[in-house]
Amino acid sequence: MIKALIGLGNPGEKYKNTRHNIGFMVADAVASALKCNKKYKERAFSHIYECEDYDLIIAKPQTYMNNSGIAVKNIMEDYNIKNNEILVVYDDLDLAPGVVKLRTKGSSGGHKGIQSIINYIKTEEFPRLRIGIGRPERKEEVADYVLSPFSKDEKLLIEKVIAHSTECILNVLKYGIEKSLNFCNRNIV
């Protein structure tokens, strides 16, 4: 059973609508769908939505992407949550835009936010929802690319991806991860 949904991103207006903040966008959409209450937890270094009707918290770590593990570890300790009871949502350069993949475990795949979580909680075994953002044309542009907003053409697709990701997470909450894999793993076009 998932007890914490953790959307990864960077805090602040500067990063609000960037590719790297798709995890925050999905977290906000799920919190809105479930009508959760928002509060800031000092020790957990996160904005937390408490969803009392669902025995769920939704967290947006405020530690910046590359230090996400600090917040995740604190959330797990504060709420007495195990690694298989979290679901982390984040952007993935290795998936094309519109591709959504639910996994029960795995390596970081080079994602620094996920690697930070692995380093802090000492395991790769935690569920995650990967949301494709594609790669820039040149490798040296990766940092600028993930920190840039979606183009006009991409915005409609991203709205569909966020809607599907929200439905996926609601499905996971109702039926569990294993029974939700086929429903969640999609290429939204």
> 66: annotated binding-site residue?
yes
What backbone torsions phi and psi does residue 158 show, to the nearest 5 degrees? -65, -35
What backbone torsions phi and psi does residue 82 show, to the nearest 5 degrees? -90, 165
Comparing CA positions, the residue from 119, 11, 20 lying closest to residue 72 is: 119
Buried/exposed code over 150-178 (b: 16+ C-beta within 10 A; e: otherwise): beeebeeebeebbebbbbbbebbbeeebe
> 90: annotated binding-site residue?
no
Distance CA 120, CA 77 (A): 12
Of 20, 47, 111, 164, the active-site residue reads 20
Query: Between the CA atoms of 73, 76, 82 and 83, what dihedral angle is there, to the nearest 10 degrees?
Result: -40
Distance CA 167, CA 188 (A): 13
Residue 20 known to be catalytic:
yes
> 40: annotated binding-site residue?
no
Q: Which residues are annotated as a binding site for tRNA?
A: 15, 64, 66
Q: Which residues are annotated as a binding site?
A: 15, 64, 66
Which residue numbers are catalytic?
20
